[in-house]
Structure 1
Amino acid sequence: MLRFASAVLLCVVASNANACLWDLDTLEMERSRFPGALELIVGKFLRHSDVFYEWRIEDRQEKIAAVDAGELELSDAEVAGLYDDWAVALSKLGRDEDAIEVIDRKAERFPETGRYETHANRGTFLIHSGQLEEGIAEIDQALEINPEAHFGREKYQKLLAAYVLFRREIERRDDVSPADFKAVYSFAYFLEEHESADLKDAVDGLLGMMKFGDYKSPVLLEALGDIIWHFPHLRAEEDAKLLAARAFLRAAELTSDPDKAEALRKDAESALELQVIGDGSNRPFTVSEIEAQLAREVTEAEQWFGRIKKDEALWVEAADDPDQRFWDKYGLQDVRVGKVRMERLSERYAPKGIPRWMIAVVVGGAAATLLAIFGIVQLKKADRKSDAVFKGEPR
């Protein structure tokens, strides 16, 4: 707590001299203010592989067919949930038009069951496919049914879609420079027009959209950078400029528009402006340094997710219930960037069908054997020393 207070005081004092010192603690403080933000920016969070979603599409179709054939007994709510799973899996694979078709089939079959999920999912699929006005209308219907579902995520999804429409109109104007745009028309300032907008809720809403939607969306990444950098009335000790710079740079990597990528890099530069490294040199933090850190963090995330992909490929081929296997292995993991956990042998080989008790016996036996060998070696050393003493030989 003392370290945190000292760092904040240092930043406040330095800001009077138009600079703020940053070090390792600064990023950790930002991460504590916005938990999970860095992990979602770089992609190190619990998620499924494309192979898993392909399996889920087939699995849900088979279950629905079994229900229709009288071979499987499920409630209406359970069958409606199968349609939701099927549609979301299609969307995760970039097949939003197919997802809309499936969710419409659900709505036709179950007009009164799972209505909130129907409208929320359909609105999301429409927004993903670029049909923003229609998507907003669906989200409105979902909010009428349950305004607080998903911790208000849909509220900010609607606001973001409205902002994208607003931004398109502004970008058509000739009298707005890029600098003016970010200063006056960013998502952070757009939210200020809505008095019910709250920083924590807005961040949680955006992080939820990234986690359950598309964490690689340049629109979501830029919006996140905007609000954690200069949300209205945000004090210097409450913002997250290091995280914001990462969000802008990640968005620049992922956008297909070169002009937009350049603008996002400038946003990252602006977020780092007047910030200096607290290592005694007081030199400015550069975009290239943040880019290098970001590249390492993304690589870490990709390597970590590579293990999930391997597991899921195996489970899809061999496990009775890949869904359950995923949560059994990964559900309780503390997933953080910078935390590399050694994989236990039981986790590595159990997915291949080897019983955990057998792994424990083998590992325990090996450990006991090594311990016995070590004990024998020590006894022999002791015997040699005793013989040397008895014979008067130097030790």
Structure 2
Amino acid sequence: MKNDARTLLLAAALALSPTAATACLWDSDTLAAESARFPGISQLITGAFPRHSQEFYEWRRKTCEQQLAKNPALIALYDDLSVAQHKLGDHKAAIATMLAKEKLKPGVYETYSNLGTFYIYTGELEEAIKWISKALAINPNAHFGREKYQKWLVEWQIDLKKPRGENDSQPQPRLSPHNTLMGFARFVASKESGMDTMSYDSDLALSPEQALAAIRGVSGMMRFADFDNPLLQEAMGDLLLVGELKRNAAQLASICYMQAAQQSTDDEKKAAMQAKCKMAGRFTPDFSMDLVKSQLLYGLKEGNSYFQTIREDEMNWIAAGLDASAEFQKKYLAAR
């Protein structure tokens, strides 16, 4: 199904669940309008977009290992192998593969970009920033500028973990329908203003163009990393809240926060995401947490159904001895 059709169907699925059908202003029309203003975001939140299965990454890992065993000079295969290892949860092996590629051919953008991502998953955030900075030095505009926002996302997390003294607390900005800069959106605005750390200046702002660029950057991370990563869901929610109610996407933001809450393993973080979910709906009559849960559950069901179709295709292609990567691109990406 084509992307625009899936956008409309998923928006309807998110909004027209049995609970949502009784809503007044928190309704399908508003959610559909938000989805139209931010096309593709509803799919990203719930995983209803073309993405590979674990079976695919197992196939790619084995295929790359076999080919590299015959010819270790096939540089491009190192990227495919490392991403497959990463997707299968072996982040240290992915790092080792990229470092081996760096020895064979130093200074390649993809090497540094991949290393920056892999080190995030091992928790080595300073190391991640080092490699992301190297990638930015080579190509600052790759992936629609995604690298810059990935670096800022890591710096945001480092900034939040800094010890705070008794007189150095982080005040929360006063929220209103016209001032919803918080979390990652506030950090992005701080960086766009030339600051090194988070600023709580009430005059801090993001232009519509800056907000959209940041949304595009985080969208890329969700699409190519883990769409349900609670940090990415929170960051997306923060960015979707930027601007006036008629121009932002408060309902989609609330669904992001609910997804982040459900994916969080830390009780304190879970509670914080639930609080953000409530905040996203505070200016909209008839909002309820049960409604958002219902919308998210329905959307995830649709997303999983779509993903299972892809998974079955990939397993069939592999079993038939076909090039699963080429078949995937032909069926799911060529017409998009």
**TM-score where L is the length of structure 1:** 0.70
Read off the aligned partner of 2:300 and give its amino acid letter. Answer: V
Read off the aligned partner of 1:36 and give its amino acid letter. Answer: G
> Partner residue of 1:251?
260
> Partner residue of 2:125?
132
Instruction: Determine which structure has greater relative contact order: mean sequence separation of CA pairs < 8 Å that are 6+ residues apart, divided by chain length.
Output: 2
The farther-off stretch of 316-325 and 237-246 is 316-325
| 2:71 alignment partner, SS class | helix
Alpha carbons 2:47, 2:303 under 8 Å: kept: yes
> Partner residue of 2:97?
102
CA distance in 2, matches of 1:176, 1:199: 26
* Identity of matched residues, %: 38
Residue 190 of structure 1 deviates from its aligned partner by 1.2
> Partner residue of 1:21?
25
Q: 1:201 aligns with which of 192, 208, 213?
A: 213
Q: 1:189 aligns with which of 183, 186, 191?
A: 186
| 1:64 alignment partner, SS class | helix
CA distance in 2, matches of 1:85, 1:298: 28
Residue 266 of structure 1 deviates from its aligned partner by 1.3
1:211-250 alignment, distance < 5 Å: 211-229=223-241, 231=242, 234-250=243-259
Alpha carbons 1:228, 1:244 under 8 Å: kept: yes
1:265-304 alignment, distance < 5 Å: 265-276=274-285, 284-304=286-306
CA distance change for structure 1 residues 238 and 55 in 2, over 3 Å: closer, same or farther?
same
Number of equivalent positions? 294
CA distance in 2, matches of 1:111, 1:130: 24
Higher helix share goes to which structure? Answer: 1
| 1:238 alignment partner, SS class | coil
CA distance in 2, matches of 1:85, 1:42: 25
Instruction: Answer yes or no: is 1:308 the counterpart of 2:279.
Output: no
CA distance change for structure 1 residues 175 and 306 in 2, over 3 Å: closer, same or farther?
same
- Please identify the structure whose Cα radius of gyration is greater: 1
Read off the aligned partner of 2:215 and give its amino acid letter. Answer: V
CA distance change for structure 1 residues 228 and 129 in 2, over 3 Å: closer, same or farther?
same
CA distance in 1, matches of 2:165, 2:224: 31
Instruction: List gaps (5 residues or longer) in structure 1.
Output: 1-19, 69-75, 277-283, 335-395
Residue 27 of structure 1 deviates from its aligned partner by 0.9
Read off the aligned partner of 1:89 and give its amino acid letter. Answer: A
Alpha carbons 1:167, 1:185 under 8 Å: kept: no
Residue 177 of structure 1 deviates from its aligned partner by 7.8
Residue 312 of structure 1 deviates from its aligned partner by 1.2
Q: 1:146 aligns with which of 132, 139, 148?
A: 139
CA distance change for structure 1 residues 117 and 172 in 2, over 3 Å: closer, same or farther?
farther
CA distance change for structure 1 residues 65 and 193 in 2, over 3 Å: closer, same or farther?
same
| 1:214 alignment partner, SS class | coil
| 1:237 alignment partner, SS class | coil
> Partner residue of 1:161?
154
Instruction: List gaps (5 residues or longer) in structure 2.
Output: 1-23, 194-205
